[in-house]
Amino acid sequence: MTSEEIVEKVKAGLADAIQDAVLPQGDAVIFVAPDCLQKVAAFLKDDPSLKFDYLSDIRGVDYLNEERDPRFEAVYQLYSIDHQHSIRVRVGIDEENPSVPTVSELWKGALYPEQELFDMFGIHIEGHPKNERLIMPKEWVGHPLRKDYPLTTETVTFSYNRDFKSELVKSKPPTR
């Protein structure tokens, strides 16, 4: 199916669940609210003419600088192996208690990217078997890919290097 047909089909099948459907640069993109996500995902996977059986990727985006409401967005890239077409599902997520339901029951491949979404953006995944950090260390504070998380250097926790500077001071002959 072409992107136009996909958008038409989704609009017809899920008129009440999707917020908007657009075609930027020829890609099919739909906007969905978090509470409708699981319903939309199940429809996209099960409908025989759409049959999006392959989850390509899930990414988070923080639109803090754009002053957009809602602030966060989770973007699901789906592909159909049989029909060779793709769709992008964009889910806006509020800044207060950011949370989105899991789709890992439909696509097992969603487990890791969803966990990364929590790690990097602090978006809680409802129903995910492991709501914990994936890439960052377990004791890490903050969510690095948020726009209000500064890009700085990491402080060195401990070092085995000798403190040459203090030794230099010590070895210096006393001045008169």
Cβ of residue 141: shortest distance to other proteins, in angstroms?
A: 15
What backbone phi and psi angles, to 5 degrees, belong to 60? Answer: -105, 150
CA 106 – CA 148 distance, rounded (Å): 33
Contacts of other proteins in 17-76 (CB under 8 A): 24-25, 27, 53-57, 59, 61-62, 65-66, 75
Of 12-20, 107-115, 156-164, 166-174, the window that binds other proteins (rule: CB under 8 A) is 107-115
The answer to whether 88 touches 74, Cβ cutoff 8 Å, is no
Nearer of residues 151 and 168 to other proteins, judged by Cβ: 151
CB count within 10 Å of CB 125 equals 23
What is the Cα gyration radius of the chain?
23
Nearer of residues 155 and 171 to other proteins, judged by Cβ: 155
**Quick one: 143 exposed, middle or buried, by C-beta within 10 A (0-12, 13-18, 19+)?**
buried
CA 14 – CA 55 distance, rounded (Å): 20
Per-residue x/- mask for other proteins, residues 109 to 148, rule CB under 8 A? xxxxx-------------------xxxxx------xx---
Strands (DSSP E) contained in the chain are: 18-22, 29-32, 54-62, 72-80, 85-93, 99-101, 124-126
Cβ of residue 131: shortest distance to other proteins, in angstroms?
A: 15
Contacts of other proteins in 144-173 (CB under 8 A): 144-145, 149, 151
Q: Which of 21, 32, 87, 88 binds other proteins (CB under 8 A)?
A: 88
Give 16's DSSP letter.
T
**81 belongs to the binding site for other proteins (CB under 8 A):** yes
Nearer of residues 86 and 99 to other proteins, judged by Cβ: 86
**107 belongs to the binding site for other proteins (CB under 8 A):** yes
Q: Quick one: tokens of 146?
A: 């948020």
Residues found near other proteins in the complex (CB under 8 A): 24-25, 27, 53-57, 59, 61-62, 65-66, 75, 77, 81, 84, 86, 88, 107-113, 133-137, 144-145, 149, 151
